[in-house]
Amino acid sequence: MVNQIMSSKENLMTPKWEMKYETGIFEIDLQHKNFLALIKKVELIETGILKQMTIDDVLEEIIFYARFHFRSEENLMKEFNYPELAQHTEKHKLLSNNLLQEVSNLMVHPDDIAHLHHYLINWLLDHILEEDKKLSSHLKNVI
């Protein structure tokens, strides 16, 4: 699992998009790639390379994009009668709440951007590799 690989506090590079992350659903894959680009911004702020944006700006963008992405997935699930819609939607709610908690923690500990960066990578890749792969399998069978 990704969490076990990426639990270190040392600087971690945001992974590049790989075929193993692809769901085969263009819209979902494009949104996941956009998420990785947002996570890369957190890395660039963490390392001091990106100075013109604040972490607050990026976090606002991530929270907005997470809501948009989750709604997009949920709409696809409804449209194509995904049998695990309720469970997947519940996981989205949990992920959203955890994200907001991580953002709150960063407000209390502003120097802990590395923790947030690791969390975001784990959050996205775990969700893709576990939940979204199941969704894509269903969608490929019904589309």
**Taking 80 as the threshold, does the pLDDT of residue 4 lie above it?**
no
Quickly list H helices, 47-112.
55-79, 85-108
Instruction: Retrieve residue 53's tokens.
Output: 């944006």
CA distances from 110 to 12, 48, 56, 77 (A): 18, 14, 10, 37
**Taking 50 as the threshold, does the pLDDT of residue 5 lie above it?**
no
Q: What is the mean pLDDT of residues 1-22?
A: 69
pTM of the model: 0.85
The pLDDT of residue 52 is: 64
The pLDDT of residue 8 is: 43
Is residue 114 classed exposed, middle or buried when 0-12, 13-18 and 19+ CB atoms within 10 A define those classes? middle
What domains sit in the chain, N to C, each tagged with a CATH number? 25-142 (1.20.120.50)
Residue 17 has what DSSP assignment?
Answer: P
Q: What is the mean pLDDT of residues 10-21?
A: 86
The pLDDT of residue 102 is: 93
